[in-house]
Amino acid sequence: MGKNSRGRRAVAEQLGLIDQHDEATGAGSRTGSRGGNGGSTPRPRAKSGSGGRRRGALPSDGAIARTMIGRLFRWAVRLVAFFFLASIALVVVYRVIDPPLTPLMLIRPLEGVAGINLVGINKKWISIDDVSPALLRSVIAAEDGRFFIHNGIDWKAVDAAQKRNEQSNGKKLYGASTITMQCARNVFLWQGRNYVRKGLEIYFTYLMEFLWSKRRILEVYINVIEWGDGVYGVEAASQKYFGISASQLSAHQAALLASVLPNPRVWNPASPTSYIGRRAAMIQGRAAGVGLGPLQKAKTGTDAPARLEKKKR
């Protein structure tokens, strides 16, 4: 038997296309076909398997290929099903349990080791009820003015960003990521620009909008978003940059924190550049028109005035 035949036979046996027991039985019947008197007994015909192939016969290349493709397809289906079940379960869990870590919190220290810029993980979870309403308004005004209106993706903002990108001829890229999209990216995924990550981001965005309230989305967002090297969440950022809790932030301090979100590892809200100063002033002006009533509706299911609103007075 040639090397190619032996290789095909080994693959076929691994795929279960050849019954090794039948081969051994067939070989025994052939060697024992002669009786002890030197006489001969008729050799039984080998039974046929599927497709008329005799048992023990070497299958064709096409049969081997079809079997391998079928097995790969079944494994792919299982992996996809596992991903959907696991992702849905994780989103459900984080609906009631605060995420202990995010992928970015683990990636940044590794990047720091590679770049000899060691960073830790400075994070402190705070309930949305204890955060200054000025901060919530500023974040919404800066990052997603239509947060309470859209269902995860602001398609009007997407169209506007596309037009602005066409006009800039690639000199500057404008995005349209909503708070929900940024939250999905930070909690479940990684940073970067590629179609795989963007597709997963859209998937998690709609999943979060379906399973979480707007209140929960905003609460998780302000607690996991990056606010500097190794700084995650508004409470850690407030203490680092202003030496106070997030519950004590003024409207100006809140606007400064919101103004650096597009590039928190470069901009410092405690030492704002002239550009950040102008941006913070613009955000503070917009934030005055942001209402937080929908957050209380998500909590109580009523139209009662928000406790968050009462803090303003």
The answer to whether residue 264 scores a pLDDT higher than 60 is yes
Query: Is 190:226 a contact under the CB 8 Å cutoff?
Result: no
Q: What pLDDT digit, counting tens, does each position of 30-40 carry?
A: 444 444 444 44
pLDDT of residue 311: 44
Long-range contacts at 210-217 (CB < 8 A, ≥ 24 apart): 211/88, 211/91, 211/92, 211/95, 212/91, 212/94, 212/95, 213/298, 213/299, 214/147, 214/148, 214/294, 214/295, 214/298, 215/128, 215/294, 215/295, 215/298, 215/299, 216/95, 216/298, 217/179, 217/180, 217/183
14 pLDDT tier (thresholds 50, 70, 90) = low
Is it true that domain 103-312 has CATH number 1.10.3720.10? no
Amino acid identity at 79: L
* Spatial separation of the C-alpha atoms in residues 304 and 117, rounded to whole Å: 49
Residue with tokens 């008329």: 52
306 pLDDT tier (thresholds 50, 70, 90) = very low
Q: What pLDDT digit, counting tens, does each position of 204-218 carry?
A: 999 999 999 999 999
Query: Is 236:227 a contact under the CB 8 Å cutoff?
Result: yes
pLDDT of residue 273: 95
The answer to whether residue 130 scores a pLDDT higher than 50 is yes
Q: What pLDDT digit, counting tens, does each position of 285-300 carry?
A: 999 999 998 887 555 5
The answer to whether residue 201 scores a pLDDT higher than 60 is yes
Q: What percent of the chain has pLDDT over 70?
A: 72
Segments making up each domain of the chain, as ranges: 1-21+59-97, 103-312
* Spatial separation of the C-alpha atoms in residues 80 and 92, rounded to whole Å: 18
pLDDT of residue 109: 87
- In this structure, of 47-51, 166-170, 202-206, the range with the lowest mean pLDDT score is 47-51
DSSP secondary structure letters along 106-170: HHHHHHHHHTT-----EE----GGGS-HHHHHHHHHHH-TTTTTSSS--HHHHHHHHHHHHHHTT
- In this structure, of 101-105, 162-166, 257-261, the range with the lowest mean pLDDT score is 162-166
pLDDT of residue 302: 43
Mean pLDDT, the chain, whole residue set = 81
